[in-house]
Amino acid sequence: MNQKRDPIGVFDSGVGGISTLREMIRELPDERFIYFGDAANAPYGTKSTQEVIACVRGVVEHLMKKEIKALVIACNTATGAAAATLRKELSIPVIGMEPALKPASQVRKHGSVLVLATPLTLHQEKFENLMKQYGQGAVKVPCPGLMEIVEKDDNAGALHYLQELFSRFDLDRVDAVVLGCTHYVFLKDMIRDLLPERIAITDGNAGTARQLKRVLAKADLLNGEGPGSVEFETSGTQTDLDLMKKLADFRTAG
């Protein structure tokens, strides 16, 4: 059996990881992807670490039955909670995410870097280690409820939330904003309009896609034949599934 043709499993607590999926499809158009949105257990970001690990185990057990060749945790919160454990337990490559603090630190001058993320992401050891390396000038900005607004496809609610959020800061003293949750990437254009043009906005999606490609190449698992495809699954409702396909913005196989 040609393992190169096996699918890549991708999951998030909901629709957020689809922003990561887009980048992976651009980077690896010949690959087959299965995207699982754990909408029935969303949000992850306000749960305890052990609760998140329990949710993740259920998703991974399901995806492993699909004979995936690699697993992408398209969620910063789930990566911090479960990636290390999964790498010990699984025989396939596990690719996670982290807030794009490093690229933000590289464009920082003398101002601050606002790191927007879920409360759990900002309290995890993985993020604290990232702060020690690249956190000079970084300000943790927990965003409880914002992920749920994206899940509802509520643009008006998102705009109100972000306007109130940024009003708390002197934007003349801000050099960069980090989108530390994959859901927030869907609000990137809105955030761009609310910020001075000189403020950089970073997210981890492109870096995750490149890392997936490197890992697959190293393991001789890259599929170069195609055709690529995407299937969508959810633990939630048909409405959740419909929103995932809408946000994907490309033809799917599922």
Name the residues annotated as catalytic.
Answer: 75, 181
Q: What are phi and psi of 14, to 5 degrees?
A: -170, -125
> CA-CA distance, 83 to 86, in Å (whole number)?
5
53, burial (CB in 10 Å: exposed 0-12, middle 13-18, buried 19+): middle
> CA-CA distance, 3 to 226, in Å (whole number)?
13
Peptide bond connecting 7 to the previous residue in cis, omega within 30 degrees of 0: no
> CA-CA distance, 222 to 216, in Å (whole number)?
5
Q: Are 174 and 168 in contact (CB under 8 A)?
A: no
Q: What are phi and psi of 45, to 5 degrees?
A: -70, -15
Please report the sign of the dihedral spanned by the C-alpha atoms of residue 69, residue 72, residue 78, residue 82: positive
